Each structure stands twice: as structure tokens, then as C-alpha cells.
Amino acid sequence: MRHAGHFVRLLALVVITVVGFLYVRSLVVPKDFGVKGHFRLSAIDDEGKREARHIGSDACAECHDEIGAAWKAGKHHIPQCENCHGPGLLHTKVVAEDSTAGYTDKILKQFPKAINPGTGITECKWCHLKTFERPSSLKYIVNVEKHITEHQGTFSPASRCIDCHNPHTTVVKR
């Protein structure tokens, strides 16, 4: 037994390593890791904590009730307000002067009321510019210049769709 000291020291080293590993592991690995699989369970709640930025057209109509009612009754009621105007969450916060307003996307830098007022032509083109792949049932425009002259208008580069069409109801103004 004259070499027993070697084994004791080796055993002590192994014990220290194992205990140390388990201790560090308990500090590093979150408590809820591995409860339902190889992941942190509270990550699901973390993901769900984000605010919904698209608030829905009904929420828009709470303040903009006249436009909302006309939009709902009109032919253009399928595309939602936020399709053209962008998400409304920050707009409601800015209008309500809520200091917790907090997403720093370009929309806030771009528009003072944190909502896209619309250019009157870009938004229309997204759906109504003719492309070959679009179904023929969709009302689209092949050539804006031709379209305006055909309807006894005078085309200018500054011509906008909303000069003649109400974008909320599709009713032609003149």
C-alpha cells in the first residue's frame, strides 16, 4: 500500500473536476432548459412578449371613423389600412403621446406621425401595375399615360392615381 497516496490524489482530482463541472453547468444552463426538449422553455414566452405592430383596420377606424366606414362599405375593403399606410402601433403611441413608443425602424424617421400618409401612386402600383403573371380578373393598369389620356385627362409626371380615384372607396372623383 505504499502507492495509495497516488490513488487518493487521483481520486480527489477526479472528484474536484466532476463537482466543478456540475457546479459550472448548473450556473450556465438555465433552470428551464430541457423541460420539454433540448431548449429553454421560457424562450417561447420571450418570443411572445413582442408587441403586435399591425393593429388591424378596426383599431384604425376607432379614430378615423369616417374613412373607416367608407372603406368598409366600398369596393376596396379587402386590402387593409396598414397595407398602404404601414403598421399602426407606433402611430397610436405617437398620437397618444405615449413615451414608451419604441421601435426604431425607418418608419419613425421617415414620417413624423409614424405612419405612411401614402404617395398616391406607389401604393397603387403594388397591386394595379400590369404584370403578365397577374390574373385577368384583377383591375390593373398597363400604361398610366394612356390611361389618363383615354379618360380625357392631361398626363403630367406629377399625375397621381388619387387625383381622380379615391383610394379608400375606389370611387372616381371626376
Partner 1 sequence: MSPITPDDVTRREFLETVAKTGGQSFLFGSLFVNTALLRLPQAGADPKSRAEAEVGKGIVYGFVVDTTKCIGCGSCVRACRAENGVPEGYNRTWVEQYTFYPDGEVFVNSPNGGENGFADPAPTRNKPTGPEAPMRGFFVPKLCNHCIDTPCIQVCPVGASFKTDEGVVLVDHERCVGCGYCVQACPFGSRYLNPETGTADKCTWCHHRVIKGLLPACVVSCPAEARIFGNVSDPESTISRILATNRVQVLKSFLGTRPRTRYIGLDSEVI
CB of 84 to partner 1, least distance (A): 9
Binding flag, residue 135, partner 1 (CB under 8 A): yes
Contact 59, 92 (CB under 8 A): yes
Contacts of 24 (CB under 8 A, 6+ apart): none
Residues 40-59 that bind partner 1 (CB under 8 A): 40, 43-44, 46-54, 56
Contact 128, 139 (CB under 8 A): yes
Contact 79, 123 (CB under 8 A): no
CB of 12 to partner 1, least distance (A): 32
Look up residue 20 and give its DSSP letter.
Answer: H
Residues 63-92 that bind partner 1 (CB under 8 A): 78-80, 82-83, 86-87
Residues engaged in binding partner 1 (CB under 8 A): 33, 36-40, 43-44, 46-54, 56, 78-80, 82-83, 86-87, 103, 105, 107, 125-127, 129-135, 138
